[in-house]
Amino acid sequence: MDPVVDAAWLSEHRDAVTVCDVRWYLDGRSGADAYARGHIPGAVFVDLDADLCATPSPAAGRHPLPASDAFAAAMSRRGVAGDDVVVAYDDASGANAARLVWMLRATGHDAALLDGGIAAWHGPLETTTPTRAATRFDPVPWPAALLADPVATASAAVLVDARAPERYRGEHEPVDPRAGHIPGAVNVPFSGNLDAAGRFLPPDALRARFEAAGVHAGADTVVYCGSGVTACHDLLALERAGLGPARLYPGSWSQWSADPSRPVANGDG
């Protein structure tokens, strides 16, 4: 399954997929409240903090991956079955929903982002919460080949920082202990995967974008961001471009920068 589908595809296959709303806000606004005000009919709300992350800490980062059995239990509680085809969306062009899609695809499940998010859905929204019984979702271990710890991250052949350029350069750091980036990383902001309308670029354009940054098929590529969420947007874009699979550094900058013994680079290099 392609990692990105459009609203026309979702409309055509609506009865055969499970739709997940993964709205989340760095400024503390409630994704659940946004869901309650209006969501794609039948969509189930998935809480990024509660369902897609373990307990945050300086040692693990702001959004560490949950244990595989905890993730499976969360999906089961939400009524997402292990054999469901999932289409996930948010209102940030996939910046947050990409985390769920990557987690599902990494563990062998069919899942895709809704291109353009909720704004791309031209049908009516609903405010009622669908009743979904708990269902079976068996835990699958996180594939070691798709993850990188700090040691592997530091030695990656290609290290991609998916954050905004000003955070990469160390000019602005709103949430993490230190500003800057991991030495040797190249900046490929996730927002550049999108066109002016917030839709994904075609695969060829994505491929050219990443190749210009030094990412090539078969290279040992690790991607990180602030806390391992928007990095998943780059990982899905790499897959769409035919340059995957790459690895996720789940702790990302929030983990790296919390350890004063780890080096930090600033500027464009």
The catalytic residue positions are 225
Token pair, residue 130, equals: 């669908």
Q: How far is CA 64 from the centre of its chain?
A: 12
Token pair, residue 245, equals: 């699979």
Is residue 54 a contact partner of residue 123, using CB atoms and an 8 Å limit? no
Burial of 230 (0-12, 13-18, 19+ CB in 10 A): buried
Is residue 131 a contact partner of residue 104, using CB atoms and an 8 Å limit? no
The DSSP bridge partners found for residue 57 are: 61
- The CA distance from 190 to 247, in Å, is 15
CB atoms within 10 A of CB 175: 12
- The CA distance from 130 to 42, in Å, is 6
- The CA distance from 82 to 193, in Å, is 29
Residues sharing a CB contact under 8 Å with residue 100, sequence separation 6 or more, in sequence order:
20, 22, 46, 48, 52, 86, 88, 111
Q: Which residue has the tokens 């969420």?
A: 229
- The CA distance from 145 to 209, in Å, is 24
- The CA distance from 94 to 48, in Å, is 13
